[in-house]
Chains A and B, each alone.
Chain A
């Protein structure tokens, strides 16, 4: 694929993530933080996010799988996930966490289980999309091109 085409694809793809609400403007902030001194900043941050979230989701699943669910343990995990998803702009994950916390407050085990599924779904979605995005970027860079700055009209 030609470089220009790849760049266009990347831009369209990124745009779609915003339009779908998968990412919000925080992701843009991250991109703006990236500079020559730190050319892999965004992917480093996102990688950290993935690692941390994998861990949190694991803990969450464990605590919800208990015979007697201790919501005092569940809620902090959800809060943590909410915080870290906000760091990269994973909007849908964050929103799912908000709903999750409500059910925690109500001590609704069923509801919490459903929320966990929803959170996981959104998380894997954003993980997937971002991994694709980074691949596109890598292809462009490998072809000697520059990653186009994101122009957002919305």
Chain B
């Protein structure tokens, strides 16, 4: 049987009028350690789904069923329940596959179905949840196009085997692609959009526009485009860039939560989960994380950090790439928040977009600790070199170069002497809670070895994410000066345009059939 990783307890509803297949699929799914419910009729399936609205994570349905067209079922499930649906058929005709895609299927599997195909269906569930986080009331409409296109490309070309796919996946470096925009990457999507190079200035405009919109409004591509006032830029360009940006931020956050998914990173001992302390604070001068374990709060942190005002600014001369890896979870949480929580911010205190803690990262200051997860991310990377916390803010600033201080929202009075004690805000809890709500038990034994063969977690892992960025070449210097220094970041650190995250995920095999 294939090696691989699948989360225990994923609740699958299988619908097939063929009793033989139903039995086989049930057995196969059980072997994946999923929780299986079988159903021989589409109407019955709908009834079950409606009865327990949150009772299932994913639906797998045959296309041809006597009482109801599988596509109709697909529609119903999609509309009413917004669950990921995988279609199956012994018939692989292109037009049928296309129909499935058009009706919103996450995937289309050809019978006979292989174990490895079932082992990865959880990715669709996760992906959908992540999508939910990013879709703020439908403000991102541009995604549908390329999504469908990529699905097409994959489904049409994939057939029953994903040989080529697997090969691409291994060669593919998700993060590298995202940040360095390797145009020649063969696993690029089939999108025919003209590439937009997101120069520093352009990205600057983008970020400014995003900040200007603020958290009260939806940060939709259209609005951003309008504010940017770049004539040749299209809404689609912005939408795509926005998505990547959000993804980047969300991934940084999720990297903490998803450390347990990663096989390649040794899980360090985490600080007690009860820790409210959400910022990673490095004792100045030391190469170790001074976690405030337990229930430290930012105030404590701030005070402790205040005590070493002199040394926290100075970046040790060696800025290794390993250090870089710590950044995103900590600092970008702010940016993440602002982008993800535009329209729905539960807690007024935390609702302010915290992305802009002054132009100088040195204006680091203890933000209210809202989530323990920022801190939790650090341990997973503990095996890497530690780095001073201010580095984190630097990286955040890559994306958040506020040129106009006035237009930025400063969360609190900045304490110049305190090293960054950034915390994530409630919004980031969205992804965290989503992931936690999935409440999957993950087998202990999964390892990156498996990951390579069957699943590619790299996009979930901070470590991988950053390991291949250009940031290792980034020499951090004394940041006591203005953002203009930071504006000298090499352009390759900025987002390019194509392909965007979903493309990459597609390439990564979320649609293995």
- B is bound to A: yes
Is residue A117 contacting chain B, with contact meaning CB distance below 8 A? Answer: no
CA separation between A38 and B21, bound complex, in Å?
16
Chain B contacts for A44, CB-based, 8 A: 23
* B114 close to A29 (CB less than 8 A): yes
Cβ 8 A contact of B28, one of A33, A79, A80: A33
Least distance between B245 CB and chain A CB atoms (Å)? 43
Chain B residues 20-49 with CB under 8 Å of chain A are 20-21, 23-24, 27-28, 31
Chain A contacts for B318, CB-based, 8 A: none
Cβ 8 A contact of B24, one of A33, A79, A80: A33
Digit string of A49-74 for contact with B (CB within 8 Å is 1, else 0)? 10110000000000000000000000
A82 touching B23 in the complex, CB below 8 Å, given contacts A32-B1, A33-B28, A87-B111: no
CA separation between A131 and B134, bound complex, in Å?
55
Is residue A21 contacting chain B, with contact meaning CB distance below 8 A? Answer: no
CA separation between A45 and B24, bound complex, in Å?
7
Cβ 8 A contact of B111, one of A41, A48, A86: A86
Interface size range of chain A in the complex: 20 to 34
CA separation between A83 and B62, bound complex, in Å?
10
* A45 close to B20 (CB less than 8 A): yes
Chain B contacts for A30, CB-based, 8 A: 24
* A33 close to B91 (CB less than 8 A): no
The A-B contact count (CB < 8 A) is: 56
* A48 close to B20 (CB less than 8 A): yes
Chain A contacts for B90, CB-based, 8 A: 79, 82-83, 86, 94
Is residue B19 contacting chain A, with contact meaning CB distance below 8 A? Answer: yes
Is residue A22 contacting chain B, with contact meaning CB distance below 8 A? Answer: no
CA separation between A91 and B8, bound complex, in Å?
34
Cβ 8 A contact of A52, one of B18, B66, B112: B18
A87 touching B28 in the complex, CB below 8 Å, given contacts A44-B23, A76-B64, A80-B64: no
A84 touching B21 in the complex, CB below 8 Å, given contacts A33-B31, A89-B112: yes
Is residue B115 contacting chain A, with contact meaning CB distance below 8 A? Answer: yes
Digit string of A16-51 for contact with B (CB within 8 Å is 1, else 0)? 000000000010011011000010010011001101
* B1 close to A84 (CB less than 8 A): no
A84 touching B114 in the complex, CB below 8 Å, given contacts A33-B31, A38-B27, A79-B90: no
CA separation between A82 and B111, bound complex, in Å?
10
CA separation between A45 and B23, bound complex, in Å?
7
Least distance between A88 CB and chain B CB atoms (Å)? 7
> Chain A's interface: helix, strand, loop or mixed, by majority?
helix
Chain B residues 322-359 with CB under 8 Å of chain A are none
Chain A residues 79-131 with CB under 8 Å of chain B are 79-80, 82-84, 86-89, 94
CA separation between A49 and B112, bound complex, in Å?
14
Cβ 8 A contact of A79, one of B27, B31, B64, B114: B64
CA separation between A41 and B28, bound complex, in Å?
11
Chain B contacts for A89, CB-based, 8 A: 112
Chain A contacts for B18, CB-based, 8 A: 52, 80, 83-84, 87
Least distance between B228 CB and chain A CB atoms (Å)? 53
Q: Give the residue among B18, B89, B111 with the most A Cβ atoms within 10 A.
A: B18
* A33 close to B27 (CB less than 8 A): yes
Least distance between A151 CB and chain B CB atoms (Å)? 16
* A48 close to B64 (CB less than 8 A): no
A41 touching B27 in the complex, CB below 8 Å, given contacts A79-B91, A83-B111: yes
Least distance between A114 CB and chain B CB atoms (Å)? 22
Chain A contacts for B17, CB-based, 8 A: 80
Chain B contacts for A79, CB-based, 8 A: 64, 90-91
* B64 close to A87 (CB less than 8 A): no
Digit string of B157-182 for contact with A (CB within 8 Å is 1, else 0)? 00000000000000000000000000
* A83 close to B24 (CB less than 8 A): no
Chain B contacts for A51, CB-based, 8 A: 19
A83 touching B23 in the complex, CB below 8 Å, given contacts A26-B112, A29-B114, A89-B112: no
Chain B contacts for A84, CB-based, 8 A: 18, 20-21
Digit string of B72-94 for contact with A (CB within 8 Å is 1, else 0)? 00000000000000000111000
Chain B contacts for A94, CB-based, 8 A: 90
Least distance between A79 CB and chain B CB atoms (Å)? 6
Least distance between A29 CB and chain B CB atoms (Å)? 7
A88 touching B114 in the complex, CB below 8 Å, given contacts A32-B1, A79-B64, A83-B90: no
CA separation between A87 and B28, bound complex, in Å?
12
* A29 close to B112 (CB less than 8 A): yes
Least distance between B374 CB and chain A CB atoms (Å)? 43
Closest to A49 in B: B20
CA separation between A49 and B24, bound complex, in Å?
11
CA separation between A87 and B89, bound complex, in Å?
11
CA separation between A89 and B114, bound complex, in Å?
13
Least distance between B231 CB and chain A CB atoms (Å)? 54
Chain B contacts for A33, CB-based, 8 A: 24, 27-28, 31
Per CB-CB distance, the 4 closest pairs between chain A and chain B, nearest first, are A83-B90, A87-B20, A26-B112, A49-B20
- List, sorted by A's number, 27 A–B pairs whose CB atoms are closer than 8 Å: A26-B112, A29-B115, A30-B24, A33-B24, A33-B27, A33-B28, A44-B23, A45-B20, A45-B23, A45-B24, A48-B23, A49-B20, A51-B19, A76-B64, A76-B66, A79-B64, A79-B90, A80-B18, A80-B64, A83-B18, A83-B89, A83-B90, A84-B20, A87-B21, A87-B111, A88-B20, A94-B90
Binding site for A on B (CB under 8 A): 1, 17-21, 23-24, 27-28, 31, 62, 64, 66, 89-91, 111-112, 114-115
Q: 10 more A-B contacts (CB under 8 A) besides A44-B23, A52-B18, A86-B111?
A: A26-B112, A29-B115, A33-B28, A45-B23, A48-B20, A79-B64, A83-B18, A83-B62, A83-B64, A87-B20
